[in-house]
Structure 1
Amino acid sequence: MVGSNQMNQIKSLKEVFWLNPNYSSFPSIVNDLPLSYEDILEAEKRLKRFAPFIEKIFTETVDGIIESPISPIDSMKAKMEKDYGCKIYGNLILKRDDLLPIAGSIKARGGIYEVLKHAETLAIKNNLLSIYDNYSILAKDRFKDFFSNYIIQVGSTGNLGLSIGIMSAKIGFKVIVHMSQDAKKWKKDLLRSKGVEVIEYSSDYSKAVEEGRKQSESNPNSHFIDDENSKALFLGYAVGGLRIKEQLKRMGIIVDEDHPLFVYLPCGVGGGPGGVAYGLKFIYGDNVHCFFAEPTHSPAMLLGLMTGLHDKISVDDFGLDNITEADGLAVGRPSSFVGKIMDKLLSGIFTIGDNKLYTFLTALANEEEIFLEPSALAGFLGPVFLSSEEGEEYLAKQDILNKRDNITHMCWATGGSLVPESIMKEYYRKGK
């Protein structure tokens, strides 16, 4: 049942905090999920096989592993409590996917993983590679010559295109990125500087994906990376959730029944945040609570889950324009594949106005000297919402209201390090 009051708020572009009525205990649904823990582990093994190659061609990585740090942000927490007149119980940390090597965003996880998986499949099929080889040999010219016979295509609002374009071009693939009107000019320019063909569309993300898929299907040597339906992409993101355990352990942060973890993930079509949430649930089960964050103008996943219609419904059906400064989140129709997985796994979704993205951006820069792109700030409203009446309702229902002092809040910073300095200064001024 969809609450008419909350639906009216969404139509009026009001910020909402929606608790998923279908949210279920993880052990009760794990056997119904389409991908197993072993599938995620296999993805992690593949990334380790590629580590020698990645280390060789991307020297900025550590041992060829594409991973980001976690930062405590105590000053930001104090600033948020002051600005919103609330008490954020527990501690607040930031997952720095803005610092992910190579592509500087969360898309470096899924996008790069699928490119690598496709390259491995082609090379093995053509007897050029064995999984027992040292994958650094992939940097040799003979492999580049081989991969140049193949094309990678993708539809993107920006960051997915960057991750796929940069890695594909390095391996030797020809790359075509179909970009919607929401994509920032600097992202298009960066891709072209890497030798990537960029095709621009005057319509939104869905059209770019549709056209990219159509063009790819007409060429047997072309592989389309589908952010809406790709299991490989999803598993690449899930590895990120898997790796959190070791990072938090090194920080001395406990996650168990008495010390719950709350994670706030900016959401576009759903693949990135969905994959991360999936990996986290396999590690922490009911002790992790995942929330998606979407712009008030583009709450695609929220509407898909609220109505149960998933990709059969669009923000346009509710009179929303899908125009937002959060370019990576400017998606009008959610992934059905991800939405159906999240139906019982996701704790909830909240929406955020563009102005708040900028005020959070400037505050984080002032308090912590961390500079993110606007869409990466969407999750910051999560800890504030959790301190509200609806948040306390959720905590009580999960029987952790009396444990809220032990909560670790993790905002997932999805991108920002590749933003040109002049544009970042403009973002900062706008927030100020």
Structure 2
Amino acid sequence: MDQRIGTRARAQWEKSEPVIRTLEACEDVLWLNPAYGQQTASFVSADDVADAEARLRRFAPYLVKAFPETRGSEGMIESPIYALPSFQKWLEQQEKMKAPGTFLMKADSELPISGSIKARGGIYEVLKTAEDLAIRTGRLSKNENYACLADPGFRAFFANYALAVGSTGNLGLSIGIVGARLGFQTTVHMSRDASAWKKRMLRKQGAQVKEYESDYSKAVQEGRKQARQDPHCHFIDDERSKDLFAGYATAGARLQRQLRESGVVVNGDHPLFVYLPCGVGGAPGGVTFGLKLVFGDAVHVFFVEPAHAPCFLLGLLTGLHDKVSVCDFGLDNRTVADGLAVPRPSAFAGKAVGSLISGCMTVKDSDLFRILKALKDTENHWIEPSAAAGFIGPKRLLGTKEGKRYLERHNLADKMDQAVHVFWATGGGMVPQKNRNAYYDQASRI
């Protein structure tokens, strides 16, 4: 008997949604979101994002004191943008295609403290948890200088409380590093996909690491279950957290300021295309929400997932969100992109931004390596394989019938010379040189 996925058999899904056959074959896909532009659920508001930005500013003095690497940015956790003219030429030559417009990289791989996009939301939720505890117990007020949180007395106070998270790696790094530095008893539940060096780094920072032979979903499930047994433990839930989402969303207004300062115009005649690597969906979902708040219809966001783990695409396509797994359609969830090796998407993120994203793309591991090497060779920028996913975006958008259909449908085809393409480089800043060399050598053999 054919297995049931939601209310349908797998064969029925394959018949009604032909793109599923392509996904099952791990072929390249650009799926256009039929719900794009419809009314979206309002789990998070503009006020929530503004509140997150204000809280991060209050914590700036603490971050400068506790993490001297943030001194140059005055305690703000932010990343630069880079122009990519040489990479743009490489892509045109490699793919034998014209790629007009401006290519930019949003280098969250260089975010301070933990070197990935997860620093935005993960660190933010840790800081919010610390602030809530300190204010609730009368140890802190919002008009104080938060540098005091680095004092031994606060570390002793936070040691009475615990933080936990389930992660494939980067979220665990951001939470483990900051949580342990504040004094929290911090536990990171990590799946089999997590890199060994990330586990070593977390332990070195003072966090406890629990390892599982299963995938990301199991690590989250176990972390959630164990945290429930401790009333003093706060579980940072990558699949369900409003605070994580709000922290990620602060990226929207910050990118807007950076583009203005660089003289980059974004409006109806100068469209902005943003390509975000996607795992469970929380980080790209939050960033998308923030981008839509400031750019509205002028920004077009695409999520990019590994060909072996397109969980967010399947969640939206079926409408089942976290009730569907890539394994239901015969995929193995195995990819070199460890941060994206997720079998089930976040229902929270899917419902919050399901009508805000223009579509989803898939990318093979071999292309991740090709892009990683090309970016290093052409622009001397280093990213990890997961972060390379978004760079496939223009090839899918400009070189496929689905992409051309999207441009025609939204009256964009004659505006591509003025378009801006932003590739969100989501991680890689903490990767040890030994691992970087190994990735580059592997890419050189493809």
Secondary structure in 1 aligned to 2:59?
Answer: helix
Q: Aligned match of 1:35 in 44, 57, 60?
A: 44
Query: Structure 2 length as normaliser, TM-score?
Result: 0.95
Residue in structure 1 matched with residue 371 of structure 2 by the alignment: 360
**Which amino acid is the alignment partner of residue 11 of structure 1?**
E
Confirm or deny: 8 A CA contact 2:56 2:76 kept in the other structure. Answer: yes
Q: Distance in 2 between matches of 1:393 and 1:88?
A: 16
- Distance in 2, Cα, partners of 1:58 & 1:195: 15
- Report SS of the residue matched to 1:297: coil
**Residue 204 of structure 1 corresponds to which residue in structure 2?**
215
Partner of 2:68: 59
Counterpart code for 2:47: E
The amino acid that maps onto 1:176 is T
2:255 match: 244
Which residue in 2 is equivalent to 1:47? 56
2:170 maps to a residue whose letter is: N
Letter of the aligned partner of 1:345 in structure 2? Answer: L
1:6 matched residue in structure 2 = 19
Distance 2:226 2:18 in 1: 43
Aligned-pair CA distance for 1:41: 0.5
SS of alignment partner, residue 387 of structure 1:
helix
| Deviation per residue, 1:283-337 (Å, 9 max, x gap) | 0000000000000000000000011110110001001000000000000000000
Cα distance in structure 2, aligned partners of 1:325 and 1:210: 23
Provide the C-alpha distance between the structure 1 equivalents of 2:119 and 2:430, rounded to a whole number of angstroms.
12
1:100 aligns with 2:111: yes
For structure 1, which runs of at least 5 residues remain unmatched after alignment? none
Whether 1:161 aligns to 2:172 is: yes
Q: Find the partner of 1:416 among 400, 409, 428.
A: 428
Helix, strand or coil for the counterpart of 2:222?
Answer: helix
Give SS of 1:351's match.
strand
**Partners of 2:423 and 2:440 in 1: CA distance:** 19
Equivalents in 2 of 1:70, 1:248: separation in Å?
8
Distance 2:43 2:229 in 1: 29
1:386 match? 397
Select the residue among 338, 342, 351 that pairs with 2:362.
Answer: 351
Partner residue, 1:428: 440
- In structure 2, give the amino acid aligned to 1:79: W
CA RMSD between the two structures: 1.0
Of the three residues 294, 303, 326, the one matched with 1:315 is 326
Distance 2:332 2:138 in 1: 50
| 2: CA distance, partners of 1:250 / 1:159 | 29
Gap runs ≥5 in structure 2: 1-12
TM-score by length of 1: 0.98
Does the CA-based 8 Å contact 2:277-2:386 persist in structure 1?
yes
Report the counterpart of residue 16 of structure 1 in structure 2: 29
Q: Name 2:6's counterpart in structure 1.
A: none
> Can you list the C-alpha shifts for 1:211-254, whole angstroms capped at 9, x where unaligned?
00000000000000000000000000000122111000011000
Structure 2 letter corresponding to 1:108: A
Q: Give distance in 1, aligned partners of 2:190 and 2:28.
A: 28
C-alpha distance in 2, partners of 1:139/1:59?
12
Distance in 2 between residues matched to 1:4 and 1:275, nearest whole Å: 28
Q: Equivalent residues in 2 for 1:132-211 (5 A)?
A: 132-211=143-222
Letter in 1 for 2:56: L
Q: How many angstroms apart in 2 are the aligned matches of 1:46 and 1:358?
A: 38
Helix, strand or coil: the match of 2:164? strand
How far the C-alpha of 1:34 sits from its partner, in A, is 2.0
Q: Runs ≥4 in structure 1, deviation > 3 angstroms?
A: 1-4
Does the residue aligned with 1:245 lie in a helix, a strand or coil? helix
Identity of aligned residues (%): 53
The aligned amino acid for 1:317 is: D
Give the distance between the partners of 1:114 and 1:41, measured in 2 at CA.
14
Please give the per-residue CA displacement for 1:403-429, whole angstroms capped at 9, x wherever unaligned.
111110000000111111011011011
Asked if structure 1 preserves the Cα contact closer than 8 Å seen for 2:43 and 2:242, the reply is no
**SS of equivalent residue, structure 2 residue 68:** coil
* Displacement after TM superposition at 1:6 (Å): 1.2
Secondary structure at the aligned position of 2:157 is classed as helix
In the alignment, structure 1 residue 90 sits paired with structure 2 residue 114: no
1:324 to 335, 338, 343: 335
Give the equivalent residue in structure 1 for 2:142. Answer: 131
In structure 2, what is the Cα distance between the partners aligned to 1:342 and 1:45?
Answer: 23
Q: Distance in 1 between matches of 2:34 and 2:17?
A: 15
Residue 3 of structure 2 aligns with which residue?
Answer: none
Separation of aligned partners in 1, 2:83 and 2:246: 27
SS at match of 1:60: helix
CA distance in 2, matches of 1:278, 1:89: 26
Distance 2:439 2:331 in 1: 24
- Distance, in Å, in 2 between the alignment partners of 1:315 and 1:285 is 31
